[in-house]
């Protein structure tokens, strides 16, 4: 159920997903354009097309050739899976962080609110202060990044979990690569052992990089949503205190957050 909730949250808030997919596509496109087949085969032809005096149509033709080659390389070799999977998983973990920030912080405030209402119903003087608002002012990018990095340093377990998950993902990708050889079990096992052991150091580096990115995004999502929840509750709390100081009734319901 949590997976479905997270996916719904992702698609209701699609901007991070679009940004990540765009960045990864541009990175993959750059890799294709910088590769030898393009540099030695297609690029000289492109230079001939756009050689002066070139028209707008020539430039459009060159762009079309580049685009067609990028799409062909992505779809022909199955490379698109490697382009789509990392940003999707990273965005998924960011959405997990978003939901965690919303639910945890909202739960803290709602518990405080219920205690306040119970004390009011019993005509008791409620003196418990509101939950702290130390995470509220993280609107700037650098402030948010600083808060995220500090949180990651204080909670290194998340980074380790992400690294292990990405390492398992790399393991599965290597396993998938030997599926055509499953008819010959012995050869398949030999190929898997050889491929995985030879690539293990590089896969560990990839897993470390992706683990750092995904754990950062998840933590950033938590920090960002905690700040939003605190900001909303702080505004409501200020209104309540103003009404209390003026001696007027305050019947505004506490903030509600639509998660999915």
3-class DSSP string for the chain: CHHHHHHHHHHHCCHHHHHHHHHHHHHHHHHHHCCHHHHHHHHHHHHHHCCCCCCHHHHHHHHHHHHHHHHHHHHHCCCHHHHHHHHHHHHHHHHHHHHHHHHHHHHHHHHHHHHHHHHHHCCCCCCCCCCCCCCCCCCCHHHHHHHHHHHHHHCHHHHHHHHHHHHHHHHHHHHHHCHHHCCCHHHHHHHHHHHHHHHHHHHHHHHHHHHHHHHHHHHHHHHHHHHHHHHHHHHHHHHHHHHHHHCCCCCCCCCCCCCC
The confidence score (pLDDT) of residue 204 equals: 86
Summarised one tens digit per residue, pLDDT across range 169-227 is: 877 776 665 555 555 666 656 666 666 677 778 888 888 999 999 999 999 999 888 88
* Predicted TM-score (pTM) above 0.85: no
Q: Break the chain into its structural domains and give their ranges.
A: 92-246
Q: What is the mean pLDDT of the chain?
A: 81
The confidence score (pLDDT) of residue 82 equals: 77
Summarised one tens digit per residue, pLDDT across range 222-259 is: 988 888 888 888 888 888 888 888 888 878 888 877 65
Summarised one tens digit per residue, pLDDT across range 34-93 is: 876 777 778 788 888 888 887 888 888 888 888 888 888 877 766 777 788 889 999 999
The confidence score (pLDDT) of residue 258 equals: 64
Summarised one tens digit per residue, pLDDT across range 118-137 is: 887 776 676 677 787 766 55
The confidence score (pLDDT) of residue 78 equals: 65
């Amino acid at each position: 159920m949590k997976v479905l909730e997270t996916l719904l949250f992702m698609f209701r808030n699609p901007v991070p997903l679009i940004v990540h997919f765009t960045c990864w596509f541009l990175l993959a496109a750059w890799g294709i354009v910088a590769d030898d087949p393009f540099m030695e085969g297609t690029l000289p032809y492109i230079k001939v097309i756009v050689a002066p005096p070139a028209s707008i149509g020539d430039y459009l033709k060159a762009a079309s050739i580049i685009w067609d080659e990028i799409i062909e390389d992505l779809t022909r070799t199955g490379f698109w899976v490697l382009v789509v999977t990392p940003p999707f998983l990273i965005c998924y973990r960011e959405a997990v962080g978003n939901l965690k920030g919303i639910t945890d912080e909202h739960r803290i405030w709602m518990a405080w609110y219920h205690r306040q209402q119970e004390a009011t119903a019993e005509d008791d003087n409620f003196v418990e202060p509101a939950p702290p608002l130390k995470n509220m002012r993280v609107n700037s990018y650098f402030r948010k990044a600083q808060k995220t990095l500090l949180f990651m340093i204080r909670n290194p377990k998340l980074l380790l979990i992400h690294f292990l998950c990405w390492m398992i993902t790399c393991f599965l990708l290597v396993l998938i690569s030997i599926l055509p050889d499953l008819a010959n079990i012995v050869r398949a096992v030999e190929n898997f052992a050889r491929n995985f052991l030879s690539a293990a150091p590089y896969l560990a580096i990839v897993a470390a990089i992706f683990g750092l990115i995904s754990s950062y995004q998840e933590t950033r999502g938590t920090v960002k949503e905690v700040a939003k929840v605190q900001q909303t509750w702080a505004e409501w709390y200020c209104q309540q205190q103003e009404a209390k100081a003026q001696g007027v009734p305050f019947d505004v319901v506490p903030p509600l957050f639509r998660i999915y």
